[in-house]
A = this chain, B = another copy of it.
Amino acid sequence: MKTVKVGICGFGTVGSGTFNVLTRNAAEIAARVGADIEIAQIGARRDNPNCSTGDIPVSRDVFAVAENPEIDIVVELMGGTTVARELVMKAIENGKHVVTANKALIAEYGNEIFAAAAERGVSVAFEAAVAGGIPIIKALREGLAGNKVQWLAGIINGTGNFILTEMKEKGRDFADVLAEAQALGYAEADPTFDVEGIDAAHKLVILASLAFGIPLQFDKVFTEGISKIAPEDVNYAEQLGYRIKHLGIARDTGKGIELRVHPTLIPEKRLIANVNGVMNAVLVQSDAVGPTLYYGAGAGSEPTASAVVADIVDVARTLSAEPEHRVPHLAFRLESLSNHPVLPIEEVETAYYLRMSAQDRPGVLSKIAQILSDEGISVEALIQKEPVEGQDHVPMIILTNRTIEGKLSAAVESIQQLDAINGKVTRIRVESLAG
């Protein structure tokens, strides 16, 4: 049997998971590929105390792996966009195929990386970069290849989903759950990437490229985090029949592509509304098949390694194939990528949940309704609480119909100027996620 030689660069959580999966399932993997996958070298600047590498050569310099003439596939599992980027470009330059789990790298530098790879006739595979072990890249690039994708919406950050799930199920508040997530190791010491939606934005940009055949445009994503979601919003959403999820949404509107990450109310009946804890899911709506959903672990050592190994298998199988026999990196051939514009958030159309503190007297609701109606926005549902003894303001919750973000912003501005309204209006987007 042939042998395909793999070099793993970065030997932390995912690196050691990949090592473990390749080692444990070597026989099954060989029976699938028709070749032995050999870990021929590891690049790690220090040992991983949880994973013994036996007699596999370890180099303290990861670039030695990219220069090793024996290595067929360089597996980049270091993270970051500096050394990782140099390493990937060097590997490509040396005619090696690359497998990476690095969403930041692909989202921010994918265009240049794929151009270099195409030039050199090598593959850069990145299934693990989005939604961990869920084979969503493969589904979009190949499984749905006959479809025009209309939109997709994903729970693509496990930490964020864990926090929102705990808030809903236990009535806890954001800061409290975040602290626990950090203690459990789900969230980083600096949780910004997760809770402010940057990590989700990286992944969304990749999904949108595959779905719509557009270049990677990380700078164009609208990103809003979950740190401002209050326990009462989770409650009111529930009373209205909704769940709050942090979604990455990409939609082809005809006029342009929406690219946005934000907390979203979705009907509790939707399957994706019931994806809880650290689990991820991506819902894809496309013209021929309709809705399909892909669910699984979005992170973790072996779940992520599962995707890395699937990529290694794909690359190993087509190692000596002509590049035309391989699936294009961004689903569509480079020369066919479209320059469909990304829509600015002001032009995005969505429904809204509004929460405000309103004076409890006749006429206030009608004023608010008038302001909304002046912008062409109508009220779909309303919750107005009974006043608590001694308080003259009550929470008022409004669900609007679909409207242009710009119009809603104008209406909110006016509502906030009413004497009867205390403080700011809380606004959360609402999506029906219906076909």
Interface residues of A (CB under 8 A from B): 17, 21-22, 24-25, 28-29, 31-34, 127, 132-135, 138-139, 142-148, 213, 271, 274-275, 286-297, 302-303, 305-310, 312-314, 317-318, 320-322, 324-328, 331-333, 336
Contacts and interface: CB of A to CB of B under 8 A. Distances in A.
A24 B146 CA distance: 10
A435 to B, nearest CB: 10
Contacts of A295: 271, 291-295
A146 B271 contact: no
Contacts of A305: 146, 288
**Assembly stoichiometry (copies):** 2
12 contacts: A32-B331, A32-B332, A132-B289, A133-B288, A133-B290, A145-B313, A146-B312, A288-B305, A290-B296, A293-B294, A317-B324, A317-B325
B286 A306 contact: yes
A291 B31 CA distance: 23
Contact of A144 (B17, B306, B314): B306
A132 B146 CA distance: 13
Given A289-B297, A296-B292, A321-B321, A25 B135 contact: no
Given A146-B22, A286-B306, A32 B333 contact: yes
Nearest to A435: B297
Given A34-B333, A325-B321, A29 B146 contact: yes
Contacts of A34: 324, 328, 333
A336 B297 CA distance: 29
A244 to B, nearest CB: 18
Given A21-B288, A143-B310, 19 more contacts: A25-B146, A28-B148, A31-B333, A34-B333, A133-B288, A134-B289, A135-B139, A138-B142, A139-B139, A142-B310, A144-B310, A145-B309, A145-B313, A145-B314, A146-B306, A289-B306, A290-B302, A292-B296, A294-B295
Given A25-B148, A31-B336, A147-B25, A289 B133 contact: yes
A24 B147 CA distance: 9
A126 B432 CA distance: 33
Contacts of A33: 145
Contacts of A310: 142-146
Contacts of A133: 288-290, 292
Nearest to A324: B34
A307 B127 CA distance: 21
Contact of A322 (B28, B291, B292, B321): B321
Given A295-B295, A324-B34, A142 B313 contact: yes
Contacts of A325: 317-318, 320-321, 325
